[in-house]
Amino acid sequence: MKLFSIFGNPVSHSISPKMHNQVIRDFNLKACYIRTCIQDPKTLMQTFHQLKLDGANVTVPHKEVALAQCDKLDSFAQMLGAVNTLVKKNNTIIGYNTDAPGFYKAITSFGKIKNALILGAGGTARAIAMVLRENNIQVTLLNRSAKRLEFFIVNGFEAYDWQNFQASSYDLIINTTSAGLSDEKLPLEQNLLANLMKNAHFAFDVIYNKQTPFLKLAQQNALTCKDGSDMLLHQGILAFNLFFDNRFNLAEIERSMQKVFLL
């Protein structure tokens, strides 16, 4: 019997247990996926061992902390500095990041994008910034405070805080902040965000299953919008396959996992 968990704080909103348990049931596997709230980030890996897990997903706000506690890192996760998937192999915990490819798959329906503005500078922003740049999309970062911008500046991204932001026009605006997750806040001052949206074509909010204030404003400005459901689905498919040694067909996992989004 294999045991998996989602780690985060808060974690009650996460539908990862439903997604993974759906595939476990459909594929007739001896496994179970639970949720665990990690209040003290220092205890993350200790909790992994105490629960005798075979794998875990990591969500807000522990992706950077998780990276520091892994025994080994996949090279892409190491480059991003953020981990969302932990896999136990021969008593070693390996850290991966499936958010980045999951996000990129989710925006393919938008078509051609030249440049993007990312709001926020956490683990999810790192993943998205790197995957956009790898796909030749010019990236600008804008975060509420300066302290998390260092990673982006060191890696050659144009990155601003609210105080020194120099606005330009962007095809795509992405909300990677947790503003709107469990409150009704916008990730940026309303007038500034509305002005940025007037010149944009697409808006993406990584928050899922919720019409956030960010997406409401984007719709009022006639942007083509997407919430984080497809990103969640695709990061989940890739994580599931890592949990099971890449033994399954991705399209089959997708067919099964997708049912959760249709309920």
The catalytic residue positions are 63
Residues with Cβ within 8 Å of 176's Cβ and at least 6 positions away in sequence, in order, are 118, 119, 120, 122, 124, 125, 128, 206
Max Cα–Cα distance, the chain, nearest Å? 54
> Which residue is closest to ligand NDP by CB?
122
Handedness of CA 36, 66, 253, 30 (dihedral sign): negative
Using CB under 6 A as the binding rule, whether residue 207 contacts ligand NDP is answered as: yes
Q: How far is CA 180 from CA 48, 215, 250, in A?
A: 29, 10, 31
Rounded least distance, CB 230 to ligand NDP, Å: 8
Neighbour count for residue 136 (Cβ, 10 Å): 8
Q: Does residue number 120 form part of the binding site for ligand NDP (CB under 6 A)? A: yes
Residue closer to ligand NDP by CB (options 88, 148) is 148
Q: Exactly one of 117, 179, 217, 218 binds ligand NDP (CB under 6 A); which one?
A: 179
Extract the tokens encoding 219. 């719709």
Q: Name the one range near ligand NDP by CB under 6 A: 130-138, 151-159, 166-174, 200-208.
A: 200-208
Q: Does 226 bind ligand NDP (CB under 6 A)?
A: no
Q: Which of 43-51, 65-73, 172-180, 251-259 is the region at the interface with ligand NDP (rule: CB under 6 A)?
A: 172-180
Q: What angle do CA 200, 215, 141 make, to 5 degrees?
A: 55
Among 22, 178, 212, 256, binds ligand NDP (CB under 6 A): 178
Q: Which of residues 49-78 bind ligand NDP (CB under 6 A)?
A: 59-61, 63
Of 30 and 184, the one with the shorter C-beta distance to ligand NDP is 184
Non-local CB neighbours of 9 within 8 Å, separated by 6+ positions: 37, 38, 39, 60, 61, 62
In the set 97, 124, 221, 256, which binds ligand NDP (CB under 6 A)? 124
**Cβ distance to ligand NDP smaller for residue 45 or 187:** 187
The rounded distance, in Å, linking the Cα atoms of 171 and 114 is 7
Tell me the angle at which helices 213-220 and 190-198 cross, rounded to the nearest 10 degrees. Answer: 40
Identity of the residue, 1 or 41, whose beta carbon is nearer to ligand NDP in the bound complex: 41
Copy the structure tokens of residue 70: 């892994």
Per the document, the length of the chain is 263
Which residue among 22, 176, 221, 256 contacts ligand NDP (CB under 6 A)? 176
According to DSSP, residue 116 is labeled: E
128-157 positions binding ligand NDP, by CB under 6 A: 143-145, 148
Restricting to residues 228-257, name those near ligand NDP by CB under 6 A: 228, 231-232, 235
Residues binding ligand NDP (CB under 6 A): 59-61, 63, 99, 102, 120-125, 143-145, 148, 176-179, 181, 185, 187, 206-208, 228, 231-232, 235
